[in-house]
Amino acid sequence: MNIENKRIEDCLINGEGAVSRIVLDHLAIPETVRVFFLDEEIIPIRFDFLGNPIFSYEQSMLLTFKRSEFIRRNGICPDAQVHYKERSFDVPRNEFDTLQSIKESLHSLSAFENVIKSRRMFAKSHSDAELKEFIVFGRLRLMHDGKLCYVYTDDCPQIKEDVEEVSRNSWYLPSDIPSANAVCPCCGKPFTIEDVKNGTYEFVDYIPWHIDCWHEYRRQKEIHKVINCLMDYVYEPVKRQCQYELLPNGYYKDAPHIPWFLYHTPDGDIIVGWRKRVISIEWQENFKAFDFEKLFSSENATKWQKNGKRGIHACGADKAAEYLRKVLKAVNP
Ligand SMILES: [Zn+2]
């Protein structure tokens, strides 16, 4: 029986979002794991494939409250204590640490995922042994410690095969692949080995999406936020006459999926879009004349007037609606 004193760590897990867990020193047999914290036993909601206990978000919050209260009274709080039996890992190494075995696993996402899990389990149970390193699809590196990392094409321009054995390298950015039973939250389709090959997935808060699905969802969300909830709201009586066009994001150059907008009103055009925590509003040169200086004299915000355009940064949607209304009223007295 192993006994370890461990911190319960907040974490984000692939496909599950915010939970917390205890990372044990060795592979554990889940049925034998018992966790005690401040003289109480806490039952994990499940275990990961290494046998590490996982706790729900609500359990994590309760533990945090309990810990804070204990610290308030006693100054310091002990770690959780975990009792468990170690699990041996005896899958032959040639099933997950040879060029051939990895190549064969690439026929399906679940087979490839199993290879990655086996490598993690091997590394965990053989802390003195190192795995070989491989680059898969020219974009993922299977590391000597069982982890998965990104590969930058600049680092490995010579990679041509689906799998190549490479010499050990020092540091790479950790990566992950969608789990074989994960589905895209947008289109509901399961992920495939082709998605892994082509890199057509993206993790958003640790949940895998198809990149195209994520971009479309994000675009629609921005249209809803800016057009439905702000511009149409202000221009409610005439909103059917107000067309809009999508513009490239004026702030994040590398976010083509988060548009800015050219909004046509009966009074003229307005360019509007989020930039970090403010909304940029710019009345265009064809927008009716109004005394910009006077109207916003009391506003402590970034303002500009150039070539007939008049712009201001609004701190949040409420402020943006207020500015837009002010101008709407000024040009329609
Ligand atoms: Zn999708």
Instruction: Measure 196 CA to ligand 1 centroid, in angstroms.
Output: 13
Same domain assignment for residues 320 and 222: yes
> What DSSP letter does each residue of 60-124 carry, written as one string?
HHHHHHHHHHHHHHHS--PPEEEEEPBPP----GGGTSSHHHHHHHTT-HHHHHHHHHHHHHHHH
Average pLDDT score over residue span 108-112: 97
Q: Is the pLDDT of residue 155 over 70?
A: no
175 CA distance to ligand 1 middle (Å): 20
Q: Flag whether 205 is in a domain.
A: no
Q: Is 76 contained in some domain?
A: yes
Ligand 1 center to residue 140 CA distance, Å? 21
Centre a 10 Å sphere on the Cβ of residue 265 and count the other Cβ atoms it contains. Answer: 23
Both 45 and 103 in a single domain? no
**Are 154 and 53 members of one domain?**
no
Same domain, 324 and 258: yes
> What is the token pair recorded at 126?
């053989």
Q: Are residues 267 and 311 in the same domain?
A: yes
Q: What is the reported pLDDT for 312? A: 97
118 and 224 in a single domain? The answer is no
Query: For residue 148, what are the CA distances in angstroms to 141, 174, 279, 283, 321?
Result: 6, 6, 39, 49, 47
195 falls within a domain: no
307 part of a folded domain: yes
Q: Supply 269's token pair.
A: 């055009």
Closest CA to 284 of 296, 270, 305: 270
Q: How far is the CA of 209 from the centre of ligand 1 (A)?
A: 6
Q: Are residues 76 and 110 in the same domain?
A: no
Q: Classify each residue of 52-71 as buried b or exposed e, where b means 16 or more C-beta atoms within 10 Å of its C-beta.
A: bbbbeeebbeebeeebeeee
Q: How many domains does the chain have?
A: 3
- Residue that terminates a domain, selected from 52, 84, 116: 84
Do 298 and 220 sit in the same domain of this protein? yes
b/e code 285-303 from CB counts within 10 Å (16+ = b): eebeebebeebbeebeeee
pLDDT digits (tens, 9 = 90+) for 193-235: 999 999 999 998 888 999 999 999 999 999 999 999 999 999 9
Kindly give the distance from the C-alpha atom of residue 207 to the centroid of ligand 1, in angstroms, as a whole number. Answer: 12
The per-residue pLDDT for 154 is 63
> How far, in Å, is the centroid of ligand 1 from the Cα of 42?
36
The string of pLDDT tens digits covering residues 273-325 is 999 899 999 999 999 999 999 999 999 999 999 999 999 999 999 999 999 99
190 is a domain residue: no
Q: Is the pLDDT of residue 190 over 90?
A: yes
**Does residue 327 share a domain with residue 219?**
yes
> Does residue 224 form part of some domain?
yes
- Cα–Cα distance measured from residue 134 to residue 97, given in angstroms and rounded to the nearest whole number: 9
Angle at 175 between CA 169 and CA 177, to 5 degrees: 130
Query: Does the pLDDT value for residue 244 go beyond 60?
Result: yes
Mean pLDDT within 91-120: 96
Ligand 1 mean position, distance from CA 299 (Å): 44
CA neighbor of 196 nearest in space, from 289, 109, 316: 109
Confidence of residue 61 (pLDDT cuts 50, 70, 90): confident
H helices of 146-304, in order, are: 193-198, 211-223, 232-234, 292-295
How many angstroms does the Cα of residue 169 sit away from the middle of ligand 1? 34
For residue 76, the enclosing domain spans 2-84
213 alpha carbon to ligand 1 midpoint, in Å?
5
The pLDDT assigned to 97 comes to 97
- By mean pLDDT, which of 23-32, 113-122, 171-180 is the weakest? 171-180
Side-chain-facing half-sphere of 125: CA atoms under 13 Å: 20
Alpha carbon of 146 to ligand 1 centroid (Å) = 28
Residue 204 resides in a domain? no
Say whether pLDDT at 63 is over 80: yes
Residue 27 pLDDT greater than 80, yes or no = yes
Instruction: Read off the CATH number of the domain in which 242 is found.
Output: 3.90.1150
Distance 173 CA to ligand 1 centre (A): 25
Q: 80 and 101: one domain?
A: no
- pLDDT score, position 18: 64
CA of 194 to the centre of ligand 1 (A): 13
Ligand 1 midpoint to CA 185 (Å): 7
**Rounded distance from Cα 130 to ligand 1 centre (Å):** 37
Ligand 1 geometric centre to CA of 222 (Å): 18
Contact status, residue 138 vs residue 156, Cβ threshold 8 Å: yes
Quote the ligand 1 centre to 254 CA distance (angstroms): 21
Rounded to the nearest 5 degrees, what angle is found at the Cα of 148, between the Cα atoms of 84 and 143? Answer: 90
Cα 119 to ligand 1 centre (Å): 28
SS3 296: coil
